[in-house]
Structure 1
Amino acid sequence: MDKFDQYKRLLRLGIAGIEIFIETLFFVYVWDEVYRELRVTMFLNKGNWMMIGFYVLYLIVFVYLYGGTKYAYYKKGQLILSQTLGTIIANALMYIQIIMVVGRFPFPTIWPMLVMSAADLVVIMLINQLSGGIFKKMFPPKRLLLICDMAYKENLIRKLSGRKDLYTVTRCVSAAEPLVKLQQEVQDCDAMMLYGLEEQKRNDLVKFCYEKSIRIYVAPEISDLLLRGADRVHSFDTPFLLLRNSGISFEQRVMKRAMDVIISGCMLLVASPFMLLTALAIKMEDHGPALFKQERVTLNGRKFYIYKFRSMIVDAEKNGAQFSSKNDSRITKVGKFIRATRLDELPQLLNILKGDMSIVGPRPERQQYIDEFCKETPEFIYRLKVKAGLTGYAQIYGKYNTTPLDKLKLDLMYIESYSVLLDMKLIFLTLKIMFTKESTEGVDEGQNHA
């Protein structure tokens, strides 16, 4: 273990704490000096501390929610985006509280908060510039031993090469090698990564690394993810895990449906002007229909028609269904914009109101693709244990071109750890991926998507 590794979390919290402290000082100045004369009633000290306390709470919750404390884990650009989104939402909520206190809306009260937000952004960029150098010096990339099924080697190396700030693959060893040799190989590395190993060999390596205190990254199998949602049973002195294997419970389904109706209804009211403008732009470009519908599959295999704004030419699939690729010539100019901004997804709010979809859940696939994916991965059908969603775990933590197996694993992580709070977290995180270009990347030419 690197000599500084034990201090990494404390350093992350310390830097995040400094950032929050500086932003709080900005708010204290704005609240006490700028808004003092605008208040309807003067606050006593307890009232002022209450406002400051609320602001600190909002900053901590939303900066943490968006991963703004994950220094040396996210790239610098991702960190700045995470902290900026968290700060903007905290400032927006605080502005709503200030309006209630000041009694004026929206001008001139908004200008101090806008200036404060700009100052916050400067602080965020400066702190990330300084902290990036500190973490790079204290926590160099880990020397990684990759043990994998050699059929997946190229894909894994490609992914790891995108995070040279975290990992340096020193050796790649076939998972077919004897256990003794694999145990010897790890001696000269900082960490081991396992992918596609036979179950017994993987379990033995995990135990070996635990005994030797060796850091290990393990790609979970389907059964691992199913066990994740198990309940502990202590009916007697032999511990058991209970897997109900029924998706989410009845009570959770009722609460989820209520949340879907309320949120989708409110979002339709707010989004209606943008939807009208989007429809007009599509119509003006090529005079084709603004909407298109397509059969998809949801809970328990039920079929429905999904609605989206058309982002491709009218006859995009005249030669049959196919995935969108990078630089796809079928995508229109307006289509590129509405895909990048996710505006093409807005009509699915109607599907949610109808009950075909949920706000959060696995993305609905076409029956043709489900049949193809199930030939390679029969467990792909497990995604239908819950209703399809507008956003979800796989959409937030994966990409458009993420392989079906990895999408399945991400969706199972969601299903087996479902809660209303998780849904709320994923809804907020969806705002972040709207600013992340990589999440909409098309399938690479020649990529074996299935």
Structure 2
Amino acid sequence: MQEKEAFKRLVRLSLSGICLLGQVGIYIRFLYLYYFEPIKQNLQFFEKGEALFIAIYAVLIFFFSNMYGGMRIGYLKNGEVIFSQIFATLLADLITYGQISIMITALYPIEPFFHMLTMQVAWVVVWINISTFIYQHIFAPRQMLLIHGDRPYDDIVAKFGTRKDKYDICKCISYRVGYDDIFMEILEPYDAIVIWDIPVDVRNKILKFCYGHSIRVYIMPKITDVILKGAEQLSLFDTPILFTREYKMSIDQRFVKRLIDIVCSLVLIVLTSPLMLLTALAVKIYDGGPILYKQVRCTIGGKEFRIMKFRSMSADAEKDGKARLASKNDARITPVGKFIRVCRLDELPQLFNILKGEMSFIGPRPERPEIIAQYLEVMPEFKFRLRVKAGLAGYAQVYGKYNTTPYDKLKLDLYYIENYSVWMDIKLMFLTLKILLMPDSTEGIESTQITAMKQSNAELLEKRARLDREARERIEKEHRERAAHEAEVLERQKAEKKQEEETAE
């Protein structure tokens, strides 16, 4: 198994490497055809200076490709790999364009760069499609066994089902069948085991068994698992100890984070002011209603503030007084609102919230007090998100979606809180640029929902109780049937043994 995984990684790196070499090769061609001559007229190149120029571009394209996932052929969806690689190429080309313009002390004509980018995009699309075809024909989907608890597991099976090229859940069994049956099933020729929403003590025993037999395991983490993942380790009297701090950011981290917020918000307010002016005019001209939409949200410690957005819905969108998230094909969204939502222009006024210190660039997205209250009724741990300042973008937005369930968002945000670093903030800022252009990240909730929960609290609690009751009844029935079957087998064995004894006599 280990050799197979090493070979798989080697193939993935080789295919990605060829893609990057092709892009660098196109860059070199244009470099010698168009760029070097005007640069040499302005600057005296030192020996091997051209090689350094090429090396800088290669490092840039590798850095952005690695960051955005453009090298994850066979791991991410084909379209996402192509999009990520194109976006990485665009950033590398823009930086190089600025570099060349500075060196010739004038803006270089854009046409050669446009032609170069077009050729690179064509190469990326063709090669990644070829690479995906090669990868999928070499490596079959991973055959997996799912071990589940008493609650529904259809959702996770459906999520794995969206990547049939990568995962194949062959069988699902309940942890209630007992350790012996589970361990026997695990030893069947599966490539991996999925442990989904089962009691911690049972999960730990299964995990140790898989680890002892060198079997790959995918686990749905509990809240405590996410907290422990961010814990620090120390050795006290030769005993390893994990500890979690009562605070998540040191004073120097808070200072740097606030400095980044102030500088970046000021710069972006200046740069985007023409866009904000045009957006304000479009919103006002369309229906004559208010330009800004202000709403009470909660930030660090549950402190309330008024978040600002450009209004994207009709002025009477919440005339019934109920707080609800935008749903798919929401009729309340105006045509102008639909456009500014797709382009994320509606979020620009939040730069002023950041400048005022009410928000940060990166952090858990702020929720309404009434929606938080609804979540807390069924999920008390939701308040953990309030340990840091709310953000314009966050870990849950980069790695989740608008309609990701609150429980999953909580785990994603907790991972950010427990593993915070300034570098993580910078990385998430870069990744947010990619997410802004991906349409599925703005997908709304279902029209029947008020929050991102799949049902209202009462319905959810009622469904959980019903499912628990049905699960208990089903398991009790299975146990009765198994006991009856075992008793029947035992009686038959006794009868056969008695008959053999009588025959022997």
Normalising by structure 1, what TM-score? 0.96
Equivalent in the alignment of 1:270: 271
User: Partner of 1:55 in structure 2?
Assistant: 57
Q: Give the deviation of 1:404 after TM superposition.
A: 0.6
Among 337, 349, 352, the alignment partner of 2:351 is: 349
Amino acid at match of 1:417: N
CA distance in 1, matches of 2:231, 2:5: 32
* Structure 2 residue aligned with 1:159: 159
- Kindly state the Cα deviation for residue 145 of structure 1 after the two structures are TM-superposed: 1.5
Residues 268-347 of structure 1: pairs in structure 2 closer than 5 A: 268-319=269-320, 320-347=322-349
Q: 2:205 matched to which residue of 1?
A: 204
How many residue pairs get aligned? The number is 448
Deviations 1:96-152 (A, max 9, x none): 1111222221x42x3222211111101101111110111111122112212223423
Which residue type is aligned with residue 33 of structure 1?
L
Matched to 1:92, the amino acid is: L
Cα deviation for residue 157 of structure 1 reads 2.1
2:299 and 2:358 in contact (8 A); partners too = yes
Say which SS state the counterpart of residue 45 (structure 1) adopts: coil
TM-score, length-normalised on structure 2? 0.86
Match for residue 436 of structure 1?
Answer: 438
Contact 1:401/1:449 (<8 A) preserved: no
Query: Structure 1: how far apart are the matches of 2:224 and 2:263?
Result: 35
Partner residue in 2 for 1:379:
381
Distance 1:438 1:176, change over 3 A: farther
Q: 1:164 to 1:245 in 2, by over 3 A?
A: farther
Separation (CA, whole Å) in 1 of partners of 2:308 and 2:20: 42
1:130 aligns with 2:130: yes
Is the Cα–Cα contact under 8 Å of residues 12 and 135 in structure 2 kept in the other structure? no
Report how far residue 45 of structure 1 moved. Answer: 3.3
> How far did 1:4 drift?
3.9
Please identify, of 85-94 and 188-197, the stretch whose mean Cα deviation from structure 2 is larger. 188-197
| 368-377 or 177-186: bigger deviation | 177-186
Partner of 1:168: 168
Measured in 2, the distance between the counterparts of 1:149 and 1:438 equals 30
SS at match of 1:205: helix
In 1, are the aligned partners of 2:16 and 2:73 still within 8 Å (CA)? no
Matched with 2:403 is: 401
Q: Distance in 2 between matches of 1:388 and 1:291?
A: 20
Residue 184 (structure 1) aligned with residue 191 (structure 2): no
- Is the contact between residue 310 and residue 344 of structure 1 (CA under 8 Å) also seen in structure 2? yes
Please tell me the residue identity of whatever aligns with 1:44: F
Structure 2 letter corresponding to 1:137: H
CA distance in 1, matches of 2:414, 2:334: 34
Aligned mates of 1:351, 1:268 — CA distance in 2: 11
Secondary structure in 2 matching 1:312: coil
Equivalent runs, 1:419-434 vs 2, <5 Å: 419-434=421-436
> Is 2:93 the counterpart of 1:91?
yes
Q: 1:5, 1:139 within 8 Å by CA — same for their partners in 2?
A: no
Once the two structures are overlaid, the 10-residue window that deviates more, 300-309 or 176-185, is 176-185
Distance in 1 (CA, whole Å) between partners of 2:18 and 2:35 is: 25
SS of the residue 1:327 aligns to: coil
Q: State the identity %.
A: 43
The separation in 2 between residues aligned to 1:45 and 1:33, in whole angstroms, is 20
Partners in 1 of 2:116 and 2:34 — Cα distance? 11
Which range is displaced more, 224-233 or 30-39? 30-39
Alignment partners' CA distance in 2, 1:304 and 1:245: 25
Q: 1:448 aligns to what? A: 455
| Counterpart amino acid of residue 169 in structure 1 | I
The CA distance in 2 between the partners of 1:92 and 1:442, in whole Å, is 33
Partners of 1:124 and 1:214 lie apart in 2 by 35
SS in 1 for 2:293: strand
Stretch deviating more after TM superposition (273-282 or 381-390): 273-282
Please state how far the C-alpha of 1:189 moved relative to its aligned partner.
Answer: 2.4
Structure-1 separation of matches of 2:285 and 2:185? 62
1:319-354 CA-partner distances (Å, limit 9, x unpaired): 211122111111111111111121111111110000
Q: Pick closer, same or farther for the CA change 1:54–1:370 going to 2, 3 Å.
A: same
Secondary structure, counterpart of 1:374 in structure 2: helix
- Structure 2 residues without counterparts, runs of 5 or longer: 449-453, 458-505
Shift of 1:185: 2.4
Match of 1:14 in 2: 14
Cα offset for 1:449? 6.8
**SS of equivalent residue, structure 2 residue 306:** strand
Preserved CA contact (<8 Å) 1:4 1:139: no
> 2:67 corresponds to which residue?
65
| CA displacement 1:185-229 (0-9 Å, x = unmatched) | 222422111121100110111111111111110011111111112
- Which residue matches 2:394? 392
CA distance in structure 2 between the partners assigned to 1:340 and 1:173 by the alignment: 42
Q: Residues 280-311 of structure 1: CA distance to partner in whole angstroms, max 9, x if unpaired?
A: 11112211112110000001111100001111
Residues 232 and 244 in structure 2, CA contact (< 8 A), matched pair in contact too: yes
